[in-house]
């Protein structure tokens, strides 16, 4: 497992979230000023300096539930509100899109190009807001400083870590099904055509060499696909042509997007539910939540005149039906936490702490410095 995976996972999932929200805000004819405020508020929160400092520290990936909680909070960082079914659908679309992109990366290093495609689109969302644009540009620099020196082996480990995180997610998405890149069981179809990884040759030739290193013969064989040579490598600079389209906005053309639970996913989730063994990373995971969520500056709830609800379904009826049909073990309640010293925040944090704390008494010496979450959150 790579300890440098979390920033890439967060930025790419965040980019996909912004694509989806932008499309739905336009589809529901939300006034331009409100839509702009939502996008700006979420991007400002996403690239908050204090938050990114915690995010870029070397650390293992944590559970899907912990990461989902962070995105729940991020999605509600403005005047927009999502109910449970829409939040579930949003997270499903985010995760399946990025899983597809990771699977299709020709080289492990190209995951960074996918990340830059997301960053380029986010920059475009805030191109008229210099203060937020500054935050985005600083994140580019952090990404380059952290990942540019890495070897191919380092990126392969990151790719494996991401695939392990996504391995039990097989949610069917209408766009992928219509484009025939996903099967009815929720698994993706890998192409047998297109450019090979940059710096490699099209398969189909066997070369035989003599002891002195001279080529003596050449054999051809069928490679079973229609491959071509990659003409150039994508740019890893702040500005440049990324070449790959992975990570760009697939919702730029208006098309309805639906998600469906596959039988494989339900079986996997039920198996996960039965396994109730204590998580050895429970305390560390809770501390991660405290630090990350403490760094998120979320706008206080407004009033009925400014807040609005966004529906990721065609209508309210579909949204209600989706909530009833979704298996309970696959839906995470939207946890709203405010890092303040009021009783409500303390109660919410105590509830989360109860969910993560291992059973049995722990000696005081075994407690880490971040165990007192209420004190930590109050101090941020």
- Structural domain contains residue 274: no
Interval 206-252: pLDDT, tens = 999 999 999 999 999 998 888 989 889 999 999 899 999 999 998 87
CA angle (104, 106, 108) in 5-degree steps: 95
Q: Is residue 100 part of a domain?
A: yes
Tokens 């890893």 locate to 236
CA distances from 121 to 22, 107, 157, 259, 302 (A): 11, 22, 26, 24, 28
Any domain includes 209: no
Q: What does the block give as tokens for 56?
A: 């870029």
pLDDT tens digits along 20-56: 999 999 988 889 999 999 999 999 999 999 889 989 9
Can you give the pLDDT at residue 159?
A: 96
Question: 278 forms bridges with which residues in the sheet?
Answer: none
Please check whether residue 110 lies inside any domain of the structure: yes
Specify if 291 maps to a domain: no
> Is the pTM for the entire model greater than 0.85?
no
pLDDT at position 143 over 70: yes
326 occurs within a structural domain: yes
11 lies in some domain: yes
% pLDDT > 90, the chain? 45
Look at the chain and report how many structural domains it folds into.
1
Give the Cα separation of 292 and 299 in Å (integer): 16
Whether residue 29 contacts residue 114, with contact meaning beta carbons closer than 8 Å, is answered with: no
List own/partner pairs for 332-336 with CB under 8 A and 24 or more apart. Answer: 332/65, 332/68, 332/69, 332/72, 332/88, 333/84, 334/72, 334/76, 334/82, 334/84, 334/87, 335/69, 335/72, 335/73, 336/72, 336/73, 336/76
Q: What is the pLDDT of residues 261-308, one digit of tens each?
A: 554 444 333 333 334 344 444 555 555 555 555 555 554 445 555 777
**Domain contains 380:** no
The strand pairing partners of 343, in sequence order, are none
- Domain encompassing residue 187: 5-194+235-254+309-336
């Amino acid at each position: 497992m790579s300890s440098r995976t979390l920033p890439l996972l967060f930025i790419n999932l965040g980019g996909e979230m912004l694509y989806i929200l932008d499309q739905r805000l336009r589809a529901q004819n939300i006034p331009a000023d409100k839509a702009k405020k939502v996008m700006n508020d979420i991007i400002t929160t996403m690239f908050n300096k204090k938050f990114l400092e915690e995010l870029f520290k070397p650390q293992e990936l944590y559970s899907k539930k912990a990461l989902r909680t962070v995105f729940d909070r991020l999605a509600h960082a403005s005047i927009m509100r999502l109910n449970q079914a829409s939040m579930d659908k949003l997270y499903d679309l985010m995760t399946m899109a990025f899983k597809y992109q990771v699977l299709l990366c020709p080289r492990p290093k190209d995951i960074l190009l996918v990340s830059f495609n997301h960053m380029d689109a986010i920059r475009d969302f805030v191109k008229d807001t210099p203060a937020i644009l500054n935050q985005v540009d600083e994140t580019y620099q952090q990404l380059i400083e952290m990942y540019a020196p890495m070897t191919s082996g380092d990126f392969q480990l990151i790719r494996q870590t991401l695939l392990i995180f996504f391995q039990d997610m097989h949610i069917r998405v209408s766009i992928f099904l219509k484009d025939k890149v996903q099967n009815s069981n929720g698994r993706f179809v890998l192409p047998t055509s297109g450019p090979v990884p940059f710096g490699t040759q099209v398969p189909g030739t066997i070369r035989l060499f003599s002891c002195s290193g001279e080529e003596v013969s050449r054999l051809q064989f069928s490679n079973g696909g229609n491959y071509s040579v990659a003409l150039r490598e994508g740019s890893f600079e702040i500005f440049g042509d990324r070449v790959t389209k992975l990570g760009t906005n697939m919702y730029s053309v208006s098309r309805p997007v639906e998600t469906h639970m596959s039988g494989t996913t339900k079986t996997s989730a039920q198996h996960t539910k039965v396994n109730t063994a204590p998580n050895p990373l429970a305390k560390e995971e809770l501390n991660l939540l405290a630090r990350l969520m403490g760094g998120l500056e979320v706008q206080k709830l407004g009033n009925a005149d400014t807040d609005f609800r966004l529906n990721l379904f065609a209508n309210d009826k579909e949204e209600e039906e989706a909530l009833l049909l979704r298996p309970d073990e696959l839906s995470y309640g939207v946890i709203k936490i405010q890092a303040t010293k009021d009783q409500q925040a303390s109660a919410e944090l105590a509830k989360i702490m109860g969910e993560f704390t291992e059973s049995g008494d722990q000696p005081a010496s075994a407690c880490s410095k971040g165990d007192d979450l209420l004190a930590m959150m109050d101090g941020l």
